[in-house]
Amino acid sequence: MARREGHEVLAVDAFADVDTRQAAQQVWRLPALAGQLSAEDASALFEKLDSWQPDAVLVGSGFEASIELYQRLYQRYALAGNTPALLAQVKNPYWLSSYCAAHGVMTPPVQAQAPQAGPWLYKVAGQSGGSHVLHWDKAAVVSPDPAAYWQMLQPGLAVGALFVVEADLVTLLGVHALRQRPGNYTYAGATRLHEPQLIAAMQALLAALVPGLGLVGINSLDAIWQHGQLHLLEINPRLSASMRLYSDLPLIQAQLASCQRGLMPELATNGNYASHCILYARQAIATEDLVFPAWLEDKPDGGSISAGLPLCSLYAEAATKDELEQALQDKKTQLEKLWGTYVCERIEFNIH
């Protein structure tokens, strides 16, 4: 996105896939971004950024669990994003729960002690991607993480919203259904939605939630849509993977303008349906002998993909929901013909 908008880019990425290497002027792989950043990782990151001397640093996931490192980034560079204090506040589940209660926003109850009964989820504050979320079973987690908390399970459709904030003026860019890996809560993509009732409810939620928070730039949130009501799960005060669904918009310009008090671009979204689907390896997959069509996204840069890790992504866009589902199925069929049954049975396609 940044390259299309005319910027020179150093991409620091956990996977450094083929697409990233082709798009950016420089790419530096930092695998720890997918987990926990150490002091050594931070030193290496600062050394790399110092050598590049960036005009602006934009941050995605990977820093919510390391507010101290985010603070150092924020102080050292022109970080176009939310303040460290706001990041720490919004990612505190107890603070967010109290804030929601004070502003009339529904959210499932949270607590610091393991529940004795009932449908609860075990979560770890500051983590992202959903892989840390588990159905609570007293016997399943012997030694909870120090940042663990429990949130009551709220049934319904998992949805997300992408929005941009400028001086407390919030613009909803879109609402999407969240895709998750079978049997767990790991993020596996998103599908843009156009249901008027849901969009109106999301706009009302943002109007109640955002003005007092102090957010800037592009942010996202996760919620549950059930019986015509939204239940907020969490706010992600950073750039989001769901931006892929709206990449025809000048989102990088919007981020910089909001954070640097510049001129905001026009952000009128189109009415198409779109879907971003992450393919995960069920079992280890050697990629050297696989042919990856140009229309695949996030293609691996060789090597073996371990079980449970992302392999690549599918993206499709269409005028109707049925046409979108058919386009995804057609791409899956093409891969089955290209790679064969043996390989494809090792892959979660996550298109349904």
Which whole-number Å values give the CA distances from 208 to 60, 109, 256, in the listed order?
25, 19, 25
- Tokens for 192, please give them: 């843009």
Give pLDDT, residue 269. Answer: 84
Q: What are phi and psi of 315, to 5 degrees?
A: -135, 140
Give pLDDT, residue 83. Answer: 97
Q: Rounded distance, CA 15 to CA 216, Å?
A: 28
Residues 6 or more apart whose CB falls under 8 angstroms from that of 220 comprise: 160, 161, 162, 163, 235, 236, 240, 242
Residue-wise burial string across 206-216, b where 16 or more C-beta atoms lie within 10 A, e elsewhere: beebbeebebb
Q: Is 87 exposed, middle or buried (0-12, 13-18, 19+ CB in 10 A)?
A: buried
Mean pLDDT over each residue of the chain, to the nearest integer: 93
Give pLDDT, residue 140. Answer: 62
Give Cα 117 distance to the centre of its chain.
31
Give pLDDT, residue 299. Answer: 97
Residues in a beta bridge with 11: 27
Looking at the domain that runs over 88-260, which CATH code has it been given?
Answer: 3.30.470.20
- Tokens for 57, please give them: 């640093």
Q: Which residue has the higher pLDDT, 138 or 144?
A: 144
Give Cα 16 distance to the centre of its chain.
17
Mean pLDDT (whole number) for 109-125: 90
Mean pLDDT (whole number) for 45-74: 93
Which of the 8 DSSP states describes residue 266?
P
Lowest mean pLDDT of 58-72, 91-105, 333-347, name the range: 58-72
Percent of the chain at pLDDT > 70 equals: 98
Give pLDDT, residue 178. Answer: 97
Give pLDDT, residue 167. Answer: 86
Cβ atoms within 10 Å of 104's Cβ, excluding its own: 10
Instruction: Label residue 62 by pLDDT band (50, 70, 90).
Output: confident
Instruction: Label residue 270 by pLDDT band (50, 70, 90).
Output: confident
Instruction: Label residue 116 by pLDDT band (50, 70, 90).
Output: confident
Q: Rounded distance, CA 228 to CA 208, Å?
A: 17
Mean pLDDT (whole number) for 258-274: 91
Residue 113 has pLDDT above 80, yes or no: yes
H or E stretch covering 262: none
User: What residue has token string 């449970």?
Assistant: 308
Please state the pTM of the whole predicted model.
0.95
Percent of the chain at pLDDT > 90 equals: 82
Mean pLDDT (whole number) for 28-56: 91
Mean pLDDT (whole number) for 187-201: 97
Which whole-number Å values give the CA distances from 144 to 137, 148, 174, in the listed order?
12, 6, 36
Give pLDDT, residue 143. Answer: 65
Residue 64 has pLDDT above 90, yes or no: no
Contact 237, 82 (CB under 8 A): yes
Give which of 295, 246, 313 is closest to 273, Cα–Cα.
Answer: 246
Q: Rounded distance, CA 312 to CA 215, Å?
A: 32
176-190 pLDDT tens trace: 999 999 988 999 999
Give which of 59, 230, 256 is closest to 164, Cα–Cα.
Answer: 256
Give pLDDT, residue 273. Answer: 96
Instruction: Label residue 117 by pLDDT band (50, 70, 90).
Output: confident
Contact 171, 268 (CB under 8 A): no
Domain boundaries, the chain: 10-86, 88-260, 273-348
Instruction: Label residue 289 by pLDDT band (50, 70, 90).
Output: confident
Residue 227 has pLDDT above 70, yes or no: yes
